[in-house]
Every structure is written in C-alpha cells, then in structure tokens.
Amino acid sequence: MMAGADTTRRLTALIRKETRQMLRDRSNLMVGLLLPIVLNLLFGYGLSFDVRNAPVAVVLEDRSQMAREVTSGLDGSPYIDAIHVDAMADAERLVREHEAVAIVRVPSDFSRRAGAGSAAVQVILNGSDTTTANALEGYIAGAIGTAMQHRADRAPGTGRGGATVIQRIWFNEASDSTWYLVPGLLVIVITLIGALLTSLLIAREWERGTLESLFVTPVRPHEILIAKLLPYLVIGAIDIVTCLAAARFLFHVPIRGSLIVIFLAAMLYLAVSLLLGLFISGKVRNQFEASQISLLASFMPATMLSGFVFDLRNLPWPVWIVSQLVPATHFMPLLKTLFLGGNNWTMLARDSLILIAYGAVLGIATTRTLAKRLD
Amino acid sequence: MPAFRLFWRQISALIRKELMALIKDPSARVLLLAPPIMQTMLFGYAATFDIADVPYAVVDLDRSAASGELLARLDGSGLFQREATLASPSQIAPLVDRGDVLLAITIPPDFAAKLEAGQPAPLQVILDGRNSTTAGMAGAYLASIVNGFNRDNAGSGATGGVEIVRRAWFSPNLESRWNILTGMVAGLAMIQVLMVAALSVSREREQGTFDQLLVTPLTPAQILIGKAVPSILVGLMQSTLVMAINTLWFHLPFNGSLVLFYFGMLSFMTSAVGIGLAISAIALNMQQAMLYTFFVVMPLMLLSGLITPVSNMPEFLQIATYANPLRFAMDLVRRVILEGAGLSDVAWDFVPQLGVMVVTLPLAAWLFRHRLS
Amino acid sequence: MTSPSATVIVEGLTRLFDGPDGKPFRALDAVDLTVRAGTLTALVGPDGAGKTTLMRCLTGLLRPDEGSVRVLGHDALREPQAIQDRISYMPQRFGLYEDLTVQENLDLYADLHGVPQDVRRDRIGRMLDLTDMARFTARPAGKLSGGMKQKLGLACTLVRSPDLLLLDEPSVGVDPISRRDLWAILADLIAHDNLSVIVSTAYMDEAERCDDVFVLNGGRVLAQGTPAELTRQAQGLTYTATPPPGTPARFLQARLIDAPERIIDAVPRGGDVWFVRQPEAPEAELGALLGDAAWHPRSEALEDAFMLLLRQDQRTPHPAPVEAEALAPTGNSGQTDDAPEIRVRDLVRRFGDFTAVASTSFDVRRGEIFGLLGPNGAGKTTTFRMLCGLLPATSGTLEVAGHNLRTGRARARSAIGYVAQKFALYENLTVRENLEFFAGAYGLGFLETRRRVRAVMAQFELEPGLLARTLPLGYKQRLAMAAGLIHSPPILFLDEPTSGIDPLARRAFWRSITSLARAGVTVIVTTHFMEEAEYCDRIAIQDAGRMLIVGTPREVRDAAGGGGDIDMNQAFIAIVEQARAAEAQGQAAA
C-alpha cells in the first residue's frame, strides 16, 4: 500500500504543477476557454450552407403572361433576390461584376415553343462559387417548377399527370445546415483543445531541459502522462458543456439522445485527442515542429476528412483509408446521430470501442516517449 | 547611396539567415513542402458535395410499368446506386440510421393509376438529414430525374414540363471541389505563413539569440523586414504548390494572368505576415505565439468563404469579414483563376488587404520597440 | 542492503555517440570507477572528457554500449527506476519550471521525492537561507538571474537526503560566496547523513576538498587518487615569477604560456605569475624565457597537477595562441587615446520599486580589461545590458565609444562586440553561416565578409562546416567570440564568457583576450572565477546594485585587508561581507 500512497502523492504534486502552469499562461485560457465560445458563435451564426437572398438577374425576353408567371416564383423565394433587367448583356455584366450570381433567361420564343411542349428556360450560373451555384440551381428549378405546377393546376385535365416528389428529411426536418454544423463544432472544438494545448507540453520540457531533472526522481512515466492529461480534461469538459448549452439554448439544435451519453462519448474523444497531441509532442521533442504537425495531423483532417461537412461515401480508396485513420471520423457520425437521431446503441458501442483502442495505443505510445532515456 | 547599400546588406544577411533556419533541417524542409501537397491531394478529393452513386433503397408497392421505368431511369442515371429493394416501408429506418442509404423512395400502390388519371402521383422520399447539404444535393438529383420522367411521359400539349437549360460559366460541370481547391491556394499557405512569422521572434527569444540580434546595429524596422520576407516567400512557395496541383492534377483552368495572381498573393501574404509579426511581438514564448496564432487563424478561416460562402452569413459578420485578408485573397484567386479577371475587376480586393497591412506592420514595429524596454 | 564499501561500481564502461562527421566516437572508453560509500568524489576534466555522459550513465538515463554500471547495488541498465528512487541528480542545466515560483519548484521536488511535511519545512527553510533566496520565494523562477537559477536548481536537488547525490557542475555561474555556502552544505550532508556525493567541477579548489578525484580526458580515466596524491605529481615543477615594476603580470604570463615546449601552465596571481615548467625542460632554460623577472619555486597545487596531466596526454588538443593583430580593430573609434572609451555617470535602473542598479559611475580606458564582479543578483547583468543598449537606463549618462546611448544607440552598437552569457548562436546553422550572418548584420561587404570570416575562423580554429549545435561548449564559446569580433569592434563585452568552460579552454580564452587588449581593444568582462580577475587591469565589485570598489586587483586585495597573502576569492568575499555588515549596521542605527 506504500507504493499506492507514493503514487498518489507524486501525482498530486505533478497535477498541481501542470494546473499552475496551465493557469499562469493567459494564452492557454484564451484558446482553452475563449476560443470555443468564439467558434460557437461563428459556427452558430456565421456558417451556413443555406443560400439566402442570392441576387439573380432575371431577363424576360418574352413578355407574355406565361413567361411572367414562370418567373413569378423567383420573386417570392426567400432564397433568391430577383433583379429584373432588360437585356442579356446587362445581366452578364452583373454576373461578371459579382452583382448577381446567376441569370434566369426566358427566351423570346418561350410561349411559342410552350405550345409545342418544348419550352425552355435558360439558367446561367457563376461557377466560380460552386457551393452557391449548386444550391441555387436547385432553388431556381424548384421555384420555376412550383410556378408551372400552379399553372397546370388551374388548367387541369389537359394530359397525363406527373410524378411529384414528397420529400421528408429525417433528423433535420427543416434542412437547416446549422443543425449539423453545431454538433460537428463540438468535435472541432475538442480536437482543437487536444491539438493546440497539449502538443507543446512535452516538447517544451525537452527543449527547456526540465525532463532530465524530472526523470531522475521516483516519478514514473505514466504519472507524468496522467498529470499532463487531467487539467486539460477539465478544460475540455467545460468546453463540452459550453458547446452543449450553446447548441441547446442559443441555436435550438435538437438533442435527441441522452445528454449523459453525449457527454461521456465526448469525454472519450477528448481523451483521444489530448493523447494524440501529447504523443506528437513527446515524439517530436521540438515545439516548432510539434505545433505544426499536430495542426496538420489532427485539426485539419478533423475538419476536412471526418465527414463534418463533406460526405465520405465517395472518396477514392486511398483518401478513404486516410480518412478512416483520423479519430474524428469515428466520432463525427456518432455525435451527429446522438444529437439528431437519438441513442443508437450499436453505433455507440462500435465507435466507442474504436476510440478506446485509439486511446490505449496512443497512451502506451506516449508513455514510451517518456521512457526515462536520453539516448 | 552607401546608406542604402548598408541597409540592404544588413537586411539581406538577416533574410538569408532566416531562410536557412527554415530549410536547413530536413524535417523542417518536409514540414514546409509536405503539408500543402498532402492536404491539397486529400482535401481535393474529400471536400466535395458532389456525390456519385447516391446509395438508395426503394419500396416499390406499385410494381407497374411506370414505376419500373422511373427506377430504371434512376439506376441508369449514373447518379444513384440501389443498395436495397425492400418489401415494406418499415424496413427503411434501420438502413437510414446506419447510414447505409442516403435516400429511400417509396412508390405507392396507385402510382401508375394516378399518372394515368392525370393526377399528381406522389413519391414518398426520405432523406438522411444528418448532413443536410448532401441531402439537399441528393434531393436535387432526384428532382431532376423525376422532372425528365414527367416531361417524357406527359402527353403533347402539356404545360407542366418546362425544360431548364442550365449552363455554368467558369466551371462547366459545377464541380463543388473547385471551391475548396481554389480556396486552399490562399488558405493553406496562410496557416503556415502566420505560424512562421509568429514563431520567428519568440523562437529567438527562447533560444537566447534575440539579445545577440539586438546588439547588432540592425534597427527594429530592419529586423521586421528581415523576418517578413522569408515568411512571405514561404507563403508564395506554398501557394504555387497548391496552384500547380490544382492545374496539373485536378485540371482546373487557369484563365487569368499569372502576374496578377502573384501580385495578389504577394499582397495577401504581406498582410498575413503583418498579423503574424504583431502576434510575435506580443507573445513572450513559443507557446503563446502558437496559441495566439490559432486564436486568430480559426476565425480568419471560417469567415473567409473557404467552406461556406460569405454571402450566406448574417449582415454584421459580412461586415466583419472586411478585416479578413483571406476573404479577399480567396475572392481574388477564384476570379483570376476561374473567371480570368483583370486588375480592374479585382482592384477592390486589394484595399482591405492594404488596410490590414497599414495597421499591423506599424503595430508590430511599435510593439517590438515597446517590448524591448 | 547494499554493500557498505562501494556505492558505485563502473567496469569497462563504453558509450558511443554519433560524431558531427557522422562517425561514432567514444564519449566513454572502457572507464573503471569505484566510489566508496560516504565519500565525496570529484570528476574533473576538459569539455568533452565524458563527465556528463558518465553521470547520465550512472542515473540510468543513458544506456552503456559496453561494460556494466552498478549504483547502490542496482544495475543501471536493468533497474534504472530503482536507482532513480534513491538518488538525487542535478544536471548541468537544471530544468526549473520558469512559470512556477521558487517555492513551488521546491515543493514540487519535495513531493516527488516524498519528503515528509515536517522534515520539509526545515529543509526548505535551510536551503532558502543558504542560497540567500528566502526573499524571493514568491518570484517566478524565470525571473531569477542566471546564478540564482543555478542555486535554486541546487536547492531543488537537495530537498532530501538521498543515498547518492550526483552533481554535474553545480557551481557554474555561482558567485564565490554562494559557492562557499554550497560546499558547507555538502560537507554537512556527508557528515550527518552519511551520503555519497559525486560532483563534476571545473574548479580545482572544489576538487581539492574531495576524498577522491578522477581526472577524465577523451573518455578515459587519466588519473585517480586523493587530491594530495595527484598534487604530488607536480612536485618540483612549480614556481612564482615577479615581473619588473611597471610591467603588467599578464604580459609575462602571455610570454610564458606561449612557450608550451618549456612551460606547462602560467597564470597571473596577485601581481605575480604562477607557472609550471615541463619536466623535460631544465630549470636553467627558464632564465632566458623569464628575462628580467625574478622567480622562485613555490609549493604545488592540484591545478598544477591537473594541467600537467592534461598537457602530457596525447589526446589533449593544443590550442594555438591567438594572433592579436588579425583580430585588432581596423580603426579606432575616433576617440583620442586619453578619453575614456566608456563613461558611466550616476547610472540608475529601477524595476518598479526595486532598484537593480543604484547610482553607479566609472570609466573604462581604451585597451583596458575591465572586470565587473559581484554576487548573483548584484546587478551586473543589468549594468551590462544597459551598457550594450539592450536596456534603457532609468537615469544617468552612458557613453560608449563617444556615443551617448540615449541618442546614438545604433552607432554605439556598431562599435561593440557582444558575447552573451549562454553563447547564443543559431544552433542549426554552421559555423560559417553564423559568422556570415553576423558579418552581414554589421553591414560588412561581400569581400570584407569573406576576409573577416576566414580570419576569425583561423584564429579560433573553427571548422567552417560544423553545425553550431554539435560543437562542444568550449568551441561554442570560441564561435561566440568569433561572432562578437567579426566586425573588428573597438569594444568587446563579455558576459560570463568562461562559465562552464574547462581550465584549458579558459587559458586559451584569456590568451586571446590579453592579445586583443594589447592591440587596443577595450574589454569589459564579468566572471565568477575570481582568479580570472587577475587578468584584468581594473575590477569593480558590485553588490545589491551598489558599486563597492573600483581599482586594480592589487588595490582590491589591499582594501580587503589581511595582507598580501589572500587570493582574489577571499578578497571578494571579504569586501562583499564587510559592505553587507556596514549596511546592516547602518540600518540598525537608523
């Protein structure tokens, strides 16, 4: 039992030391506590894939009643801000000057060809912003389709009916991109804490020579590791709670799964990202390189390769393999499901096991980087 | 002019030293070259909303010729991949939950009959909204196929079918990865430029060489320039790498002027370095420099239009982006590369960047001198 | 229980490292060493002798390539943790947590070593008293001066009584008073706690206090024995020479040390020169070398024997004397010879309420070697940084090479060369790249740069292609000197340039400094090696921000009282303690 008491005493001393060092540097708290709040606000209010009031130039070369009806849907759309111009040249100029992002052109032969059943509306999109262009294409088609539907409804029985799509979006009925960006933000914030705050911890001690003195004490390598982990777990826990509160009360994202389960799963992922940061720090032993590598190895992939905004389904296999190596990839879908879908126990079990495996491997590997050797 | 020659001699020695410190170690060289290459390749493939082969499930309760034709159109479109053919709508939920399918279509038993009767024939479609952007994309694909189906099956004289002829300028196939690829030209480089600039002074502080530098006759302004130029070069090099991969590997067009592109990048990198040096003057050690850098990088990236368009943001944030040089660098890159814009088209993109430079560089110089005493 | 007779048994220990050229070299080469329990053992030897590597092998931090290391009965390869549980180790660069306070650093190590609360209060209190740091317990370690940090590191190491204490150059950068106190602590620990101590040191007076001394060179044990046994080797070879009146002792010293075929060693000492002759050189031959100086035999010291052993070993590098002409300033600073090169009047520097430097005035003449001495935290570094223009003065006048530092800082800077305390160089650049950078920073042209870089590299025997990081400490110091002299400055500032440097390298260093001074370079130097003050024309002793005395070494020794027999170390301690006593009395009276 003596050994246990020794361990506890050493751990307490080390944890006190790490906590003090963490609290004494304002930059730690800025990134640890303030940055998550800033990100919450930016993600919640700033980031959206939902196009609103996109300026669209409308050119009616056919001034018939029918042509006006076709484009009337554009005027009512919340997504589109129709700008009526007289000539195609004006519309093209607007697009070139980025005053409009698309052109809807009803050609002069529109009503004539409509009689023959081959009417066409031309839509020109500025492809240099593909995200907006892609979304806008759907909105324009929808607006024109709806207008045509109304017209058809007023003159029924003139032919065969059409198939209509009655669409229901599960998990996100309003199709609001904030709903999936905000849970994703939690993943990003946790990854950030791990990548930034811990990646310098061991490298700094190597560079400043403090490890040599620390090594030749009764301290065990895993005690150093645990002491470096704990204070940041606390910071991370505060951030998780902050994010959950913001999601619930500020952005009104539904939290359909159990809060406890979400919190525990997030803590598990937090431990994995902290360990990844520590591992890089211990392996590289150089602050400059550790900071860059951790950013490249954890944060950027968590944003781009985890399924945060971009679907992983159609990745070429080499890229897919890389994406599967990223811990965030195994947490992102779980968290989105827990938020929007509810408790999914099979998914929870599978992803938790993967994360635990990551944590174990990284924990052992990091402890090895702290083996008391200088050679 | 001997004074100028002396000035230049001192600065060039400093620039040479900074560059050597950056590229001397093999691991440091790898860190400057590998990240932009790897990230461009990986994210170029990953960062796309275009989904080929949307996995879907179908419950065909009608089993008519009409429903068969609709499904054949789906399967033959090259856009959809049928994962499951189910007997009952109740089997849909687990498939969607597990993420096996993104979309599920239920064709009601009276589908063909309603079509025949000239009535609207509804299709029940369920989409996985855990990523509503992807779901929206898949929904749009489906709508366009159903549209085609309607047009071809509507009798002559029908008014419902208006063909929408879509043309996209600058990006004929509207490939959504172009958005990220062009954004990374400025965005990826910015991260490392900021970091190199921000850490350059604090690294010398920690290694104790800063005093040695300060006792030389180099003035603070000279030291600033000497630290700025290598960072800018790093940024230009990385932008070039990303640009090269874009055109050679992903076959993006390059429609504009190379000179204008580099002029724009130079202006952007200078303003980014201004931010980095201001951070370096504030930070007492490397840890602070790095953390402050990230505190700044994150908002800069998010408010730049790299992932989501600036025009989707609320008004007050759109105004805030005027302080973000990355936003205008991205705008400039996309316009020059894709639209072939000339100087007069993008002149306004330089103004906010100049504004950032005018504020940050003198601020860095002032902080620098201030911190010395 | 371990064997009471031997605490450390090292047999055939060999340790390889990759050399700068990529080839492995033997940092330790078949070393045998036994340390008896309860004794004080010294490791001495030049840089690169393998002292630190040996220490690290003892702690289990480095694996031996061949041979065995047993410490306290445990094999260092198989059970390093068992050793680490029972020893205390102070590395050369003790890693203090700079953002923690003095007290927090001490508490951390006390906790890690499991020192019980009641013992601890006592112990830490004693350590704080001893290191004179009780006032600073709440100060972050990063804000302490270099010497104070060293003392705090020592205090952290000594928070408990281990079975074995390993100290790697514990007194580097520590002032004589603290050094005396440190050794008092060690003596006390050995007497009361029966612990064994292994200490590596560059101070021969410290080695002299030990029971056993191991002289290492090039990875091998060159000699071992008690200090008395080792000292005896120099018997009959040691002399004192007195230069004729009016000739500085260092001129004679330079002449002697430049004749290595006849002279082993020569150092200025109390206005005289102490020297050791080569055993093969008969006494009769010395007359020609000594000229009109009077000389007579003196009793030998450990340092004499140490120099003898090293000079006789084939592996010792023989640094060539430095040609002053090549390093001399190309032009003088525009001052007339009589005007002081550096003029300091009523210099004051305050940090908040704390007065680091109080109303200080002195002049330094052209070609003079001026020594700035003082205990750790006395304000030397602050004074120094103000002189170099790194820190603005709160009030007072500072003129360097005729430029007022308030108005002409840039011009003053181009007239000075500066060697920082830790030889701050760009570690991942080569020797040549470092020098070329500094040449450029001082605005030297292309051809001038090439010429100067070649000249200083030749003078300091530097290999152009080696990375600064891979240089041994002595060569780092040479590189720092070379960088400081690259623009031929008329004034050279040296902040503890010999800190951590072995006696051999120190001789070479001072040889180049004295040549520079003869060529007209003004040198201001700080040091904690009091015998080095003997090289100076004049020295100043500072304590608590006040200038206690300025004068020639002889004047300082005389002021300290005690006749002509005391050495500089004793004189320094006496002057500082007299001043402190007077201060305390003054305060008591008020």
Q: What mean pLDDT do residues A313-330 have?
A: 89
pLDDT of C163 above 70? yes
For residue C337, name the pLDDT band (cuts at 50, 70, 90).
Answer: low
CA distances from C418 to B21, C405, C472, C486, C529 (A): 22, 16, 20, 10, 20
Band the pLDDT of A2: cuts 50, 70, 90.
Answer: low
Compare all CA atoms of chain C with the CA of B5 and give the residue at the minimum distance. C443
Residue A10's closest chain C neighbor by CA? C112
Q: How far is C174 from chain B (nearest CA, A)?
A: 20
Report CB contact under 8 Å: C112, A6: no
Least confident interval from A54-63, A155-164, B291-300, C304-313: A155-164
Whether B157 shows a pLDDT value over 50: the answer reads no
Chain C interface, best mutation among B17, B25, B284, by max C CB count within 10 A: B17
Q: Where along chain C do its domains lie?
A: 6-226, 236-299, 324-415+489-589, 416-488
Q: Are C238 and C300 in contact (CB under 8 A)?
A: yes
Q: What is the pLDDT of residue B156?
A: 34
Q: What is the pLDDT of residues A184-203, one digit of tens each?
A: 889 999 998 888 889 889 99
The answer to whether the beta carbons of residues C64 and C15 sit under 8 Å apart is yes
Could you give the CA distance from residue B326 to residue B319 in angstroms, rounded to a whole number? 14
Average pLDDT (B2-18) is: 87
- Closest residue in B to A332 (Cα) is B130
Does position C285 have pLDDT exceeding 70, yes or no? yes
Nearest to B321 by CA among B334, B307, B302: B302
Mean local confidence (pLDDT), C377-383: 87
Helix-, strand-, coil-residue percentages of chain B, each rounded to 5:
70, 10, 20
B158 in a structural domain = no
Do both B192 and B279 map to the same domain? yes
Residue-level pLDDT at B179? 85
Phi, psi of B254 (to 5 degrees): -125, 95
Inter-chain CB proximity C433 and B215 less than 8 Å: no
Q: What is the token pair recorded at B333? A: 């890159």
Q: How many CB atoms lie within 10 A of CB A12?
A: 12
Residue of A nearest to B113 (CA): A161
So what's the ipTM on this one? 0.83
Closest partner residue to B130 (CB to CB) among A45, A159, A180 is A180
Length, in residues, of chain C: 590
Instruction: Report yes or no: A254 at the B interface, CB cutoff 8 Å.
Output: no
In this structure, the answer to whether residues B357 and B220 fall within a common structural domain is yes
What is the per-residue pLDDT across B296-349, written as a single tens digit (0 to 9) for each?
A: 998 998 899 888 888 888 888 899 999 999 999 999 998 898 888 888 888 888
B65 and B211 together in one domain: no
The answer on B277 and B179 residing in a single domain is: yes
Distances (CA, A) of C227 to A132, B126, C176, C220: 85, 92, 21, 19
Residue C307 has which token pair?
A: 């120099």
User: Does residue C224 register a pLDDT over 60?
Assistant: yes
B162 domain-assigned: no
C-alpha angle A76/A77/A80, rounded to 5°? 120
Neighbours of C21 (CB within 10 A): 11
**What integer pLDDT is reported at residue C141 of this predicted model?**
92
Closest CA to A303 of A321, A281, A323: A323
| CATH code of domain C324-415+489-589 | 3.40.50.300
What is the nearest CA distance from B210 to chain C, expressed in angstroms? Answer: 8
Tokens 């905000």, located at residue? A182
Question: How far apart are the C-alpha atoms of B262 and B267, rounded to whole Å?
Answer: 8
Q: Does B159 map to a domain?
A: no
**Subunit contact B209:C418, Cβ cutoff 8 A:** no
Most confident of A295-309, B51-65, C551-565: B51-65
The answer to whether C391 faces chain B, any CB pair under 8 Å, is: yes
Q: Examine residue B167 and state whether it is found in any structural domain, yes or no.
A: no
Q: What is the pLDDT of residue C319?
A: 56
Residue A305 has pLDDT above 80, yes or no: yes
Q: Are A309 and A184 in contact (CB under 8 A)?
A: yes
Q: How confident is the model over C545-556, as pLDDT tens digits?
A: 899 999 988 888
Say if A33 is an interface residue toward chain B (CB within 8 Å): no
The nearest alpha carbon in chain A to C93 belongs to A209
**Which member of C424, C433, C493 has the closest CB to residue B208?**
C424
pLDDT digits 0-9 by tens, A216-261: 999 999 999 999 999 999 999 999 999 999 999 988 888 889 999 9
pLDDT band at A111 (very low <50, low <70, confident <90, very high): confident
More confident residue, A168 or B162: A168
- How does the average pLDDT of chain C come out, rounded? 87
pLDDT band at C541 (very low <50, low <70, confident <90, very high): very high
For chain C positions 157-176, those within 8 Å of chain A (CB to CB) are: 157, 166
pLDDT at C316: 65
- Tell me whether A203 touches chain B (CB under 8 Å): no
Q: How far is C392 from chain B (nearest CA, A)?
A: 6
Residue A269 Cα to chain centre, angstroms: 15
Query: Under 8 Å CB-to-CB from C413, ≥6 apart: which residues?
Result: B215, B216, B217, C388, C389
Q: Which domain holds residue B348?
A: 2-47+175-372
B91, B120, B153 - which closes a domain: B153
Touching B (3+ Cβ pairs <8 A), the chains are A, C
B27 & B86 share domain: no
Q: Do residues B83 and B116 both lie within one domain?
A: yes
Amino acid (1-letter code) at residue A7: T
Look at residue A109 and tell me whether its pLDDT is greater than 80.
Answer: yes
Strand extents, DSSP E, A28-177: 54-60, 80-85, 102-106, 120-126, 163-170
Residue B248 in any domain: the answer is yes
pLDDT value of residue C271: 81
pLDDT at A97: 84
Per-residue confidence (pLDDT) for residue A3, from 0 to 100: 64
Say yes or no: do domains C6-226 and C236-299 share a fold. no
Mean of the pLDDT values across residues C185-208?
A: 86
* Chain C contact set for A215 (CB, 8 A): 59, 61, 84
Residues B215 and B73 in one domain: no
Greatest extent of chain A over all pairs of C-alpha atoms, in Å: 96
Mean pLDDT (chain B) is 86
Q: Looking at the predicted structure, is the pLDDT value of residue A14 above 60?
A: yes
Burial A287-324 (b: 16+ CB within 10 A, else e): bbbbbbbbbbbbbbbbbbbbbbbbbbbbbeeebbebbe
* Confidence grade of residue C564 (pLDDT, cut at 50, 70, 90): low
CB contact under 8 A, B160 and A162: yes
Look at residue A161 in the predicted model and tell me its pLDDT: 59
β C491-495/C522-526 pair status: parallel
User: Mean per-residue pLDDT for B140-144?
Assistant: 83
pLDDT of residue C438: 93
Q: Say yes or no for a CB contact (<8 Å) between A192 and B203.
A: no
In this structure, the answer to whether residues B59 and B43 fall within a common structural domain is no
d(CA C484, CA C507) in angstroms, rounded, equals 19
Do residues C213 and C230 touch, judged by C-beta distance below 8 A? yes
Q: CATH number of the domain that B66 lies in?
A: 3.40.1710.10
Interchain CB distance below 8 Å, B115 and A120: no
pLDDT of residue C333: 45
Residues B19 and B66 in one domain: no
C438 touches chain B (CB under 8 A): yes
**Amino acid C2: pLDDT:** 42
C250 pLDDT above the threshold of 90: no
Tell me whether residue B195 is in a domain. yes
Give A314's contacts in chain B (Cβ within 8 Å).
Answer: 48, 50-53
Mean pLDDT of all residues in B54-83:
90
Q: What is the mean pLDDT of residues B189-202?
A: 89
For B93-139, how does the pLDDT look when each residue is reduced to its tens digit (9 = 90+)?
Answer: 888 888 888 899 999 998 888 888 877 788 889 888 888 778 888 88
Q: Can you give the pLDDT at residue A4?
A: 79
* pLDDT number for residue C583: 86
Q: Which two tokens stand for residue B224?
A: 């600033």
Average pLDDT on C345-367 reads 90
In the beta sheet, which residues pair with residue C403? C400
In a domain, B164, yes or no: no
Q: How many residues does chain A have?
A: 375
Stretch A42-64: mean pLDDT: 86
In this structure, which CATH number among 2.40.420, 3.40.50, 1.10.3470, 3.30.70 belongs to the domain C236-299?
3.30.70
* Best residue in C28, C97, C117 for a mutation probing chain A (most A CBs within 10 Å): C97
For residue A138, list chain B residues with Cβ-Cβ distance below 8 A: 136, 139-140, 143
Which residues of chain B lie closer than 8 angstroms to C390, CB-CB? 211, 214-215, 372
Structure tokens at B21: 């410190």
Q: Do B137 and B195 fall into the same domain? A: no
Q: Report the share of chain A in percent with pLDDT over 70.
A: 95
What's the number of domains chain B is made of?
2
- Please determine, for residue B160, whether its predicted confidence score (pLDDT) is greater than 60: no
The SS3 assignment for C465 reads: coil
Q: Which region among B43-47, C64-68, C292-296, C502-506 has the lowest average model confidence (pLDDT)?
A: C502-506
pLDDT in tens, C293-333: 888 999 999 999 999 998 888 766 655 555 555 555 554 44
Terminal-to-terminal C-alpha distance of chain B? 32
Same domain, B142 and B189: no
pLDDT band per the 50, 70, 90 thresholds, residue B56: very high
- What number does CATH give the domain C6-226? 3.40.50.300
Fold designation for A54-154: abc type-2 transporter like fold (3.40.1710)
pLDDT of residue C405: 83
